[in-house]
Structure formats: C-alpha cells, structure tokens
Amino acid sequence: MSGSAQELVLAVSNLSKSFGPTRVLADVDLSVQASQVVVVIGPSGSGKTTLLRCCNGLEVADRGRIEVCGTTLFSDGRLLHDSELNALRTRVGMVFQSFNLFPHLTVLQNVTIGPRRIRRKTLSEAAE
C-alpha cells in the first residue's frame, strides 16, 4: 500500500462482539496509519483473533464501525456486500496464525503469489 505516513489504513471504533453470553470484544478503538507497525498481544482467549477476523470481514461484530483503506467494512450492524468485500480483499491481505509457505517456492515467490494470481501482476510488479 502506498501513501503518506499519515494515511489511515485501519480505523476501528466502539467494536463489540459476543459469542452467546461471553463478551469477547468490548468497545474496542484502534487506528493504524500507513507504514505503522502494530502488535496485538494478549493471553489466549482475550479476543485477538476475533478482532482480526472482524477487521477482515471473516467475523461479523455485534456493533461498532470498521474502515479499511477508506472503505467502510462494517457499520450499524452491517457488513459490506459480498462483491464489495471480495473487491476489498483483492487490495488488502491477512496472514493467518497457522500459515504455511509452499516449500518448493522461494520466500519472494511465496510473498508474491497472491498478487500475481489474483491481481495478475507481473513478478516485478508484485515484488515492488
């Protein structure tokens, strides 16, 4: 993602999520600027994965708002329509907790396989 250091790439406000009676996220606020490195850390069961899944549209929050790269992903209890969500996912990626690299590819080939296959970028474009 290109842009200035002040470009907001993720904005989460008042995000809440419960599974039955268990409240996993309670009014979470988070913002991430372009080029900023953020670490989400906490004990098992504290909501880290749920937060990330909500930010990628893999989980639907109960309330709050999520904006990713200027697109409202979730607001007022509604998630983006599937076609809009898929379009956003072609621009924004997520590495899962249990990821696997293809052992027959180099690190660069593993990192660039998504942009090359999904966005039809050349190897040099994806590497950049």
- pLDDT tens for each residue of 74-115: 998 899 999 999 888 878 877 666 667 788 988 888 888 888
Per-residue b/e over 54-88, b at no fewer than 16 CB within 10 Å? bbbbebebeebbbbbbeeebbeeeebbeeeebeeb
Assign 52 to helix, strand or coil. helix
Query: What is residue 118's predicted lDDT score, i.e. its pLDDT?
Result: 82
Confidence grade of residue 3 (pLDDT, cut at 50, 70, 90): very low
- pLDDT tens for each residue of 16-75: 999 999 999 999 999 999 989 888 999 998 999 999 999 989 999 999 999 999 999 999
Query: What is residue 115's predicted lDDT score, i.e. its pLDDT?
Result: 86
- Count the Cβ atoms, other than its own, within 10 Å of residue 49: 16
Residue 62: partners with Cβ closer than 8 Å, 6 or more residues away: 16, 17, 18, 77
Query: What is residue 92's predicted lDDT score, i.e. its pLDDT?
Result: 81
Query: What is residue 2's predicted lDDT score, i.e. its pLDDT?
Result: 47
The helix or strand, by DSSP H or E, that contains position 55, with its residue range, turns out to be helix 48-55
Alpha carbon 54 to its chain centroid, in Å, reads 8
Write phi, then psi, for 26 (nearest 5 degrees): -130, 100
What are the structural domains, with CATH classification, of the chain?
8-89 (3.40.50.300), 98-128 (no CATH)
Query: What is residue 86's predicted lDDT score, i.e. its pLDDT?
Result: 86
116: left (phi over 0), alpha (psi -120 to 50) or beta: alpha
Alpha carbon 45 to its chain centroid, in Å, reads 19
